[in-house]
Structure 1
Amino acid sequence: MGQCVTKCKNPTSSLGSKSGDKESSSKSHHKKGGGGGSGGHKEEPSAPCSKATSELSNGTKALEVTVETPVIPTVTGEPRKDEFLDGDGLSMLRIEELFCCYKDEQEDAILEEGMERFCNDLCVDPAEFRVLVLAWKFQAATMCKFTRKEFVEGCKAIQADSLKGICSRFPCMLLDAQGEENFKDLYRFTFQFGLDAEEGQRSLQREIAIALWRLVFTQDTPAILERWLDFLAENPSGIRGISRDTWNMFLNFTQAIGPDLSNYSEDEAWPSLFDTFVEWELERRKKEEEQALMAMEEEGKCTETETECSPTTDRLETEGSRGSQTWGGH
């Protein structure tokens, strides 16, 4: 999956930190080695805080001023003295700082632009299955949007407080989504996730439903899925939207009805759209069988014609050979 690197240029700026003004005046100092025989000196990494000093003309030193440089846990992964860890060892401060890296300037939520950067830093495509599973774990109410509460509670649910932590949870989340009850929950969540809550939608647009069906069945694709999606795509005039009932029942349909559709019954309580689909699919298969049969018959006629022509050709070749022998004899 590749390394996950935070691309947030200055995370503290979104938190209102003013430490950047002080850092420009601070100087790092080096600690010289002890009085050993080497006489050299060894440089050590600068501490989180550095001391700026100035020397007066009489050789005395002025008052030392300590300038603290804050350590940003979302970048370094190191704990801070002021951060609070919950019972699972998660840092609430780091989760909040991570959220603020991507939140919108006007709204207290991660919107489309921030979501794109967030997915890019996680090394995932915004349209892939892992992002859908992450949204399910975060219980996001709207596509391309994480509210602060959804993000914080979601990170707590998957036990991650950094980009690296979220990346490391993907394999477990994908495995978790394969469980029968969990997948049913994910499947039903996907319908709600695809609705435009602000518009008050109650059914999915046909194109969005097709895309979400293909996405949610990424790990375990039913044999009938592509035929169902072809049916929806080829009948735009008769299908305006997909209702919640149709969406939920299609999962039952894939589990109860075999690929050959032989055990489907219109007498059962299936949505009427399923009746139309089964009729369309059986008619399509009938036409395919007829076309295949016609192709076989055409191929058979060609074979018979070739067989009939073959003896004549052989006879001519034989007679030609005899003629050559006769002329050669004279």
Structure 2
Amino acid sequence: MGQCVTKCKNPTSSLGSKSGDKESGSKSHKKAGSAGSSGGHKEELSGPCSKATNELSNGTKALEVTVETPIIPAVMGDLRKEDCHDRDGLSMLRIEELFLCYKDDLEDAILEDGMERFCNDLCVDPAEFRVLVLAWKFQAATMCKFTRKEFVEGCKAIQADSLKGICSRFSCMLLEAQGEENFKDLYRFTFQFGLDAEEGQRSLQRDIAIALWRLVFTQDTPMILEHWLDFLAENPSGIRGISRDTWNMFLNFTQAIGPDLSNYSEDEAWPSLFDTFVEWELERRKREEQALMAKEEEKEGMCTETECSPSTDRIETEGSRGSQTWGGPLTGNKWYL
């Protein structure tokens, strides 16, 4: 895919800092007293301390040692976010910073412009299969949009906290999408991904459905797919939208029905649109066969006597040449038994 060379700059000078100042260094001092002295000079300390005092039997204080206890701030503040990693070693700060690189100014999400820059920095086309797989791993609810939660949880799911890390995961994600159950999940996700959630859509627009069908089958294209898409494109008036049931059942159709459609039965619980398609496709094939036969017949008819049989002059010339050959030089050279 090539190396991604665009790097993201930290949009903020600091997303976390250590709080709490350490006080000045502690001091140790000794204070001696003499026997019989009525008072002693006391030295005030800058912080709490503990005293270890040994008193002699005669009442005289021996060496008094004061040891200052290190002062620990009551509140140290949160650790820097850059030091916060999940159990797999991902940096949560780097993921947050990466999200902020592409975040919209007004909404806490990556929208269309940010998605385009994000894809450019990943060295991928926004309309290619890898981006669909990435959206699937991020469990994005809407096309051309990543919320903060989707982005952060998605990066954690694919174990990447940088552009380079995401790029390096594409090959694994593509391989994962080839698994039967994973592809079924990706396929069903794609339908929901194509809906406009804000408008409350329940079915895909025909043109969007055609584009998404072609996209989701990038790695393993059924033989019947292009004919199915041609059928949808040629019947715009009768097909306004694709329901979830039709979308899901088409995957079953590609797996259960052979390319010749011989084992398709209208008695089974297929959507009515499939009945119309099979009828349309069989008729198309019939017309195609008839056109091929007509072309062959036309080709044979064009082989007229003038073009396909030798002319009289040519026969006479070849006959004369044959007489000279067989009666002359070949006889003289004894090319006969």
Alignment-mate amino acid for residue 281 of structure 2: E
The aligned residue for residue 241 of structure 1 is 241
Structure 1 alignment gaps of length 5 or more: 18-79, 323-330
TM-score under structure 1 length normalisation: 0.74
For residue 8 of structure 1, report the CA deviation from its aligned partner.
3.6
For residue 10 of structure 1, report the CA deviation from its aligned partner.
4.8
The aligned residue for residue 160 of structure 2 is 160
Contact 1:111–1:146 (CA under 8 A) maintained in structure 2: yes
For residue 6 of structure 1, report the CA deviation from its aligned partner.
3.6
The one-character-per-residue Cα deviations of 1:96-129 (angstroms, maximum 9, x if unpaired) are: 1110111001000000000011111111000000
The reply on whether 1:85 has 2:58 as its aligned counterpart is no
The reply on whether 1:151 has 2:151 as its aligned counterpart is yes
Alignment-mate amino acid for residue 124 of structure 1: V
For residue 321 of structure 1, report the CA deviation from its aligned partner.
8.7
Larger radius of gyration: 2
The one-character-per-residue Cα deviations of 1:264-318 (angstroms, maximum 9, x if unpaired) are: 1111111111111111111011011111111111112223535764354534656
Alignment-mate amino acid for residue 212 of structure 1: L
The reply on whether 1:97 has 2:97 as its aligned counterpart is yes
The aligned residue for residue 50 of structure 1 is none
The aligned residue for residue 41 of structure 2 is none
The aligned residue for residue 12 of structure 1 is 12
Alignment-mate amino acid for residue 274 of structure 1: F
Contact 2:81–2:92 (CA under 8 A) maintained in structure 1: no
Alignment: residue pair count: 260
For residue 138 of structure 1, report the CA deviation from its aligned partner.
0.3
Bigger share in helix: 1
Q: Which runs of 4+ in 1 moved over 3 A?
A: 6-10, 13-17, 304-309, 311-322
Contact 2:94–2:162 (CA under 8 A) maintained in structure 1: yes
SS of 1:161 mapped into structure 2: coil
The aligned residue for residue 299 of structure 2 is 299
The aligned residue for residue 251 of structure 1 is 251
Alignment-mate amino acid for residue 187 of structure 2: Y
Instruction: Provide the rounded CA distance (Å) in 2 between the counterparts of 1:157 and 1:265.
Output: 42
Instruction: Provide the rounded CA distance (Å) in 2 between the counterparts of 1:7 and 1:87.
Output: 26
The one-character-per-residue Cα deviations of 1:179-213 (angstroms, maximum 9, x if unpaired) are: 00000000000000000000000000000000000
Instruction: Provide the rounded CA distance (Å) in 2 between the counterparts of 1:313 and 1:277.
Output: 59
Alignment-mate amino acid for residue 183 of structure 2: F
Alignment-mate amino acid for residue 171 of structure 1: S
Contact 2:81–2:93 (CA under 8 A) maintained in structure 1: no
Instruction: Provide the rounded CA distance (Å) in 2 between the counterparts of 1:319 and 1:313.
Output: 10
Alignment-mate amino acid for residue 121 of structure 2: D
- Aligned-pair identity (%): 83
- 1:165-180 matches, cutoff 5 A: 165-180=165-180
Contact 2:138–2:154 (CA under 8 A) maintained in structure 1: yes
Structure 2 alignment gaps of length 5 or more: 18-79, 323-337
The aligned residue for residue 218 of structure 2 is 218
Alignment-mate amino acid for residue 182 of structure 1: N
SS of 2:310 mapped into structure 1: helix
The aligned residue for residue 132 of structure 2 is 132
